């Protein structure tokens, strides 16, 4: 019997699944690799926000961003890749996806592995820029901070159950508030839905030694979305992110856990709108409506914790 979380039975998620179809887009010549995407908002906008999930995530984990930002007229695409086994192959597949969707340029919101890949996409395409800006959530610049490097080349041999247990062991068991607990349960459910090749390929990307060359991204507007109670990343990894991008804006959330886009969606959506607002009135806007009047969270109260937003000039961590 498959695991069913409360969040997947919520009215908001059920509305999302009933109103926004899951599309499968085949981008390779032999038809074997299909991207899964949810695409919401005005299709005439050719510079949307694309959301990339962490290792354990699927395209629907960003349903609160897809629904919340589309209501503001923003085109949002949540994208889940097929199995790719090295970074160049992944980036080539992504370029074929945005070509297929006829997108001129994109903004990327990436979480954990999704954030690392977003940086690599930008770095590898710097001579033919398609990425306008980045919002990086709970992410890193160097995969050597992770465990399992010695066995990364063998992930393709391991059964799905073993791979899932590797990831499940990294989900916090500490006492947390209801919204964080619901986000963890939902991510466990999403993890259970992934097959062996999905998990093995993602873990291979996450644990094979690779690093970003941040100097290649110094002309790209970047917001680093940092959650203080994220248990997956060490303080050293966070500091490395800040040092790598001294020009980045920092958006701090006091709490939210490893998956704030689910547990603190109002705050995350607010920061996404603030980031995107700088492109109002340009061809790089993800919306045909002005984002300048950014709304307060839906309950007219900030979610737990104080949000800060400003400019700014451990060896092993967990995978989530």
Q: Which domains does the chain have, with CATH numbers?
A: 13-311 (3.40.50.1820)
SS3 310: strand
Q: How far is CA 259 from CA 63, 219, 227, 267, in A?
A: 13, 28, 9, 12
Structure tokens at 172: 């916090």
Confidence at residue 228, expressed as pLDDT on a 0 to 100 scale = 85
Q: Which residues of the chain are modeled with pLDDT < 70?
A: 1-2, 127-128, 149-150, 169-170, 172-173, 291-320
Q: How many CB atoms lie within 10 A of CB 221?
A: 18
Rg (C-alpha) for the chain, rounded Å, is 18
What local confidence, expressed as pLDDT, does residue 297 receive? 53
* Per-residue model confidence (pLDDT) at position 167: 86
Reported as a single tens digit per residue, the pLDDT across 279-312 is 998 989 998 777 666 555 555 444 444 344 445 5
3-state DSSP assignment of residue 216: helix
Q: What is the pTM of this model?
A: 0.89
Predicted local confidence at residue 256, as pLDDT? 92
Please give the pLDDT value at position 289. Answer: 73
Write out the E strands in 98-221.
106-111, 131-137
**CA atoms of 289 and 162, how far apart (whole Å):** 47
pLDDT of residue 175: 80
Q: How many CB atoms lie within 10 A of CB 209?
A: 10
Q: Which residues of 166-197 are buried (b: 16+ CB within 10 A; e: fewer)?
A: bbeebbbeeebeebbbbbbbbbbbbbeebebe
């Amino acid at each position: 019997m498959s695991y069913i979380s409360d969040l997947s039975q919520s009215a908001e998620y059920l509305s999302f699944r009933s109103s926004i179809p899951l599309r499968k887009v085949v981008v390779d010549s032999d038809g074997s690799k299909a991207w899964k995407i949810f695409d919401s908002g005005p299709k005439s906008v050719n510079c949307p926000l694309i959301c990339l999930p962490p290792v354990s995530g699927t395209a629907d984990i960003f349903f609160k961003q897809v629904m919340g930002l589309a209501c503001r007229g923003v085109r949002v695409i949540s994208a889940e890749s097929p199995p790719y086994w090295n970074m160049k192959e992944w980036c080539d597949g992504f370029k074929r996806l945005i070509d297929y969707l006829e997108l001129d340029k994109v903004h990327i919101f990436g979480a954990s592995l999704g954030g690392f890949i977003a940086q690599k996409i930008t770095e590898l395409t710097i001579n033919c820029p398609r990425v306008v800006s980045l919002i990086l959530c709970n992410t890193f610049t160097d995969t050597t901070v992770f465990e399992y490097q010695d066995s990364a080349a063998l992930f393709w041999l391991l059964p799905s159950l073993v791979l899932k247990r590797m990831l499940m062991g990294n989900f916090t068991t500490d006492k947390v508030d209801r919204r964080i607990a619901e986000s963890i349960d939902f991510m466990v459910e999403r993890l259970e839905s992934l097959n062996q090749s999905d998990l093995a390929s993602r873990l291979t990307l996450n644990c094979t030694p690779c690093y970003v060359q941040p100097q290649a991204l110094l002309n790209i507007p970047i917001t680093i979305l940092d959650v203080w109670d994220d248990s997956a990343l060490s303080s050293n990894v966070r500091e490395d992110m800040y040092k790598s991008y001294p020009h980045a804006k920092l958006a701090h959330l006091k709490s939210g856990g490893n998956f704030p886009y689910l547990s603190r969606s109002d705050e995350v959506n607010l920061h996404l709108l603030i980031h995107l607002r700088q492109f109002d009135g340009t061809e790089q806007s993800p919306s045909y409506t002005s984002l300048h009047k950014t709304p307060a969270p839906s309950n007219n109260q900030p979610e737990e914790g104080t949000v800060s937003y400003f400019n700014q000039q451990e060896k092993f961590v967990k995978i989530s």
